[in-house]
């Protein structure tokens, strides 16, 4: 079952108009929210970011936080799996003519949920590979927009090259991953790009910073270069579907001689402990 514009219906019965601006222009925003033990994880934070995205592109939020909570929990009742990933998208709605500018429309709201397959700590211990690419995206990466053409092409490249992620850089400085945030540990300090228009402010990123604080690890929300990345003691990526993953090889160069690090292990445990709260 899925949710479309106020109704819970079967996925194969969910249809939208070809005049929907989400289809014509990628004119919409979205959220991906993990469900652990049947409970929505960090819902308030996701709803807050959704509101920020909607405000940025001048779409009125169709529901209150309370209503969102109730819709999402109703949808989850149709699923048995304890670990899910909710995909929620709001497009500007249906216009009667294809033109770039817009007037006030009724937003299209679509929500589905899929099984979330998280990796065990044992599986993560092998570490993952990434490659670097120049960041060609626009300068509003803070908006969780459904216009994802660059990210789509990067992810396809990752699939074809058999790597976990593409790490992006602007003028030698690492911004984020194609679908994740990026962190480096160097001399016991955690580095990650500051939240601004060049990255998405990840909900998992906040959680990583929260756990670093809890472990008294010093934090530098400053960008770091590709050269610094190559000499990192540890490198991780984070997202709502991947949690926190260690990267041990970038562009065929080993990070920390190909070993995952101790700090990752602690931060990973911290994340796991929050799932049951």
Q: Which residues bind ligand PDD (CB under 6 A)?
A: 32, 151, 176, 179-181, 200, 202-205, 238-241
Q: Which is nearer to ligand PDD, 84 or 238 (CB)?
A: 238
User: 224 by DSSP, 3-state: which?
Assistant: coil
Residue in 68, 60, 28, 62 with CA at minimum distance from that of residue 44:
68
Q: Which is nearer to ligand PDD, 105 or 267 (CB)?
A: 267
| Rounded distance between C-alpha atoms, residue 66 and residue 205, angstroms | 25
| DSSP secondary structure of 43-111 | HHHHHHHHHHHHHHTT---SS-HHHHHHHHHHHHTT---SSEEEEEEEE--B-SS--SS----PPEEEE
| Gap between the Cα atoms of 29 and 127, Å rounded | 32
In the complex with ligand PDD, the residue whose CB is nearer, 32 or 212, is 32
Could you give the count of Cα atoms lying within 13 Å of 107 in the half-sphere of its Cβ?
Answer: 20
Question: In this complex, which beta carbon is closest to ligand PDD, that of residue 52 or of residue 241?
Answer: 241
Out of 144, 186, 249, 275, which one is annotated catalytic? 144
Residues 78/86/164/128 CA torsion (nearest 10 deg): -80
Which of 34, 93 has the CB closer to ligand PDD? Answer: 34
Spatial separation of the C-alpha atoms in residues 201 and 194, rounded to whole Å: 9
CA 150 to chain centre: 15
252: left (phi over 0), alpha (psi -120 to 50) or beta: left
Question: The tokens of 200 are what?
Answer: 């998405």
| Residue 95: CB minimum distance to ligand PDD, A | 26
Q: What minimum distance in Å lies between the beta carbon of 182 and ligand PDD? A: 9
Least spacing, CB of residue 19 vs ligand PDD, in Å: 25
Is 208 in a helix, a strand, or coil? Answer: helix
222 Cβ contact list (under 8 Å, min separation 6): 191, 193, 194
Does residue 144 have an active-site annotation? yes
Nearer to ligand PDD, 163 or 200 (CB): 200
CB of residue 207 to ligand PDD, shortest distance in Å: 8
Side-chain half-sphere exposure of 263, counting CA atoms within 13 A:
27
* Shortest distance in whole angstroms from residue 94 CB to ligand PDD: 24
Q: Which residues are catalytic?
A: 144
């Amino acid at each position: 079952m899925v949710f479309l514009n106020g109704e819970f219906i079967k996925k194969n019965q969910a249809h939208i108009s070809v005049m929907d601006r989400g289809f014509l222009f990628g004119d919409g925003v979205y959220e991906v929210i993990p469900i652990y033990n049947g409970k929505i994880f960090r819902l308030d934070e996701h709803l807050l970011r959704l509101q920020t995205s909607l405000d940025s592109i001048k779409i009125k939020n169709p529901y209150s936080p309370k209503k969102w909570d109730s819709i999402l929990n109703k949808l989850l009742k149709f699923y048995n799996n304890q670990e899910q990933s909710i995909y929620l998208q709001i497009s500007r709605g249906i216009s009667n003519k294809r033109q770039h500018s817009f007037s006030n429309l009724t937003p299209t709201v679509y929500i589905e949920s899929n099984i979330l397959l998280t990796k065990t700590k044992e599986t993560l211990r092998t570490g993952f590979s990434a490659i670097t690419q120049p960041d060609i995206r626009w300068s509003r990466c803070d908006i969780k927009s459904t216009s994802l053409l660059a990210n789509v092409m990067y992810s396809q490249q990752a699939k074809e090259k058999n790597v976990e992620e593409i790490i992006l850089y602007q003028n030698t400085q690492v911004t984020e991953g194609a679908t994740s945030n990026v962190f480096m540990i160097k001399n016991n300090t955690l580095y990650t790009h500051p939240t601004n228009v060049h990255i998405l402010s990840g909900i998992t990123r906040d959680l990583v910073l929260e756990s670093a604080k809890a472990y008294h690890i010093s934090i530098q929300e400053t960008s770091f270069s590709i050269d610094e990345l190559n000499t990192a003691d540890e490198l991780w990526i984070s997202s709502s579907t991947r949690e926190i993953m260690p990267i041990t090889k970038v562009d065929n160069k080993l990070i920390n001689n190909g070993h995952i690090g101790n700090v990752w292990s602690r931060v990973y445990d911290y994340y796991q402990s929050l799932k049951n709260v």
